[in-house]
């Protein structure tokens, strides 16, 4: 890719979304992922390597704000299934085309949101407490995060299903993604998606991460408790539909 004005502007907006998603409203993160694919036209999978270092930096800022609210028991429960998902996701990413990549991400996201919305109707209220649910969500989350840095909606469904208040939601969300994204770095590097060029591109986008994180923190404090999860679900649904219908 060339460092022209258009990719840089798109990248800065995406970085702003990443910062906002990590400290304020996680639903913005998927819009950042989608935007970054447009900064790499014809090389959409390569955008994964550009996004990951930015996410790690945003994760560290989020951990600074929210680590005291983390539920460590959920992190431990998800650890092994997520590792399995990381390996599976690496295989999938190696095999799929750019178009299949976008469709797969959207399908995973919409399926997870649908399951969560249908849970009361299907009388699956005890499902969030089961180890089977943790394994399914952990493997899907691990796979989705390697395939396209898109585990946010999967983990939103899992953590929201636990009935956490928004502070505990964000604390668990922040620590989980910080650990997972750092663990992903060797996998994505091995696949050749983190290069000196993508790192230089990321360096230009750091101001967007910092500004987005400050805005996100402010939004988090302003959003009422009862609207927090519904806003995240709506944002994730809209982003997935855009990815599926308007690639």
Give the tens place of pLDDT for each residue, 22-35.
Answer: 999 888 888 888 88
Give the tens place of pLDDT for each residue, 219-232: 999 999 889 988 88
Specify the number of domains making up the chain. 1
Tell me what pLDDT residue 39 has. 85
Residue 118: phi and psi, rounded to 5, are -85, -10
Tell me what pLDDT residue 216 has. 95
Q: 79 lies in which domain range?
A: 5-245
Whether residue 98 is predicted with pLDDT greater than 90 in this model: the reply is no
Whether residue 101 is predicted with pLDDT greater than 70 in this model: the reply is no
Ordered alpha helix ranges (H), 119-195: 131-148, 152-161, 166-190
Tell me what pLDDT residue 2 has. 59
Give the tens place of pLDDT for each residue, 76-96: 999 999 989 888 877 776 776
Whether residue 21 is predicted with pLDDT greater than 90 in this model: the reply is yes
For residues 102 and 46, the model is more confident at: 46
How far apart are the C-alpha atoms of 77 and 164, rounded to whole Å?
Answer: 16
**Top mean-pLDDT range of 13-17, 49-53, 113-117:** 13-17
Whether residue 170 is predicted with pLDDT greater than 80 in this model: the reply is yes
How far apart are the C-alpha atoms of 244 and 139, rounded to whole Å?
Answer: 22
Give the tens place of pLDDT for each residue, 233-242: 888 788 778 7
Tell me what pLDDT residue 119 has. 62
Tell me what pLDDT residue 141 has. 80
Grouping H, G, I as helix, E, B as strand and the rest as coil, residue 82 is: helix
Tell me what pLDDT residue 97 has. 67
Query: Shortest CA distance to 50 belongs to which of 36, 60, 62?
Result: 36
pLDDT band at 169 (very low <50, low <70, confident <90, very high): very high
Per DSSP, 69 falls in state G
Inter-residue contact 80 to 134 (CB < 8 Å): no
Tell me what pLDDT residue 173 has. 92
Q: Compute the average pLDDT of residues 62-69.
A: 95
Whether residue 124 is predicted with pLDDT greater than 90 in this model: the reply is no
Tell me what pLDDT residue 20 has. 95
The rounded mean pLDDT for the chain is 84
Whether residue 123 is predicted with pLDDT greater than 60 in this model: the reply is no
């Amino acid at each position: 890719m060339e460092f022209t004005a258009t990719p840089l502007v798109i990248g800065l907006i995406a970085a702003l979304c990443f910062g906002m998603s990590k400290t304020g409203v996680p639903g913005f993160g998927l819009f950042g992922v989608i935007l970054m694919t447009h900064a790499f036209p014809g090389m959409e999978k390569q955008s994964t390597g550009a996004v990951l270092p930015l996410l790690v930096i945003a994760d560290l800022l989020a951990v600074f704000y929210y680590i005291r609210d983390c539920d460590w028991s959920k992190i431990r429960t998800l650890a092994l299934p997520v590792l399995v998902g990381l390996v599976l996701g690496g295989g999938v990413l190696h095999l799929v085309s750019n178009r299949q990549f976008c469709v797969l991400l959207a399908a995973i996201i919409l399926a997870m949101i649908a399951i969560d919305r249908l849970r009361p109707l299907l009388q699956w209220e005890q499902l969030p407490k089961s180890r089977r649910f943790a394994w399914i969500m952990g493997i899907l989350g691990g796979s989705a995060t390697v395939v396209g840095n898109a585990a946010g909606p999967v983990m939103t469904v899992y953590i929201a299903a636990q009935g956490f208040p928004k502070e505990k939601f964000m604390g668990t969300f922040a620590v989980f993604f910080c650990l997972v994204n750092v663990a992903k770095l060797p996998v994505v590097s091995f696949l050749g998606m983190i290069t000196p060029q993508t790192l230089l591109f990321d360096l230009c986008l750091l101001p967007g991460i910092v500004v987005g994180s400050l805005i996100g923190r402010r939004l988090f404090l302003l959003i009422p408790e009862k609207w927090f999860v519904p806003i995240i679900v709506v944002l994730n649904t809209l982003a997935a539909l855009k990815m599926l219908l308007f690639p």
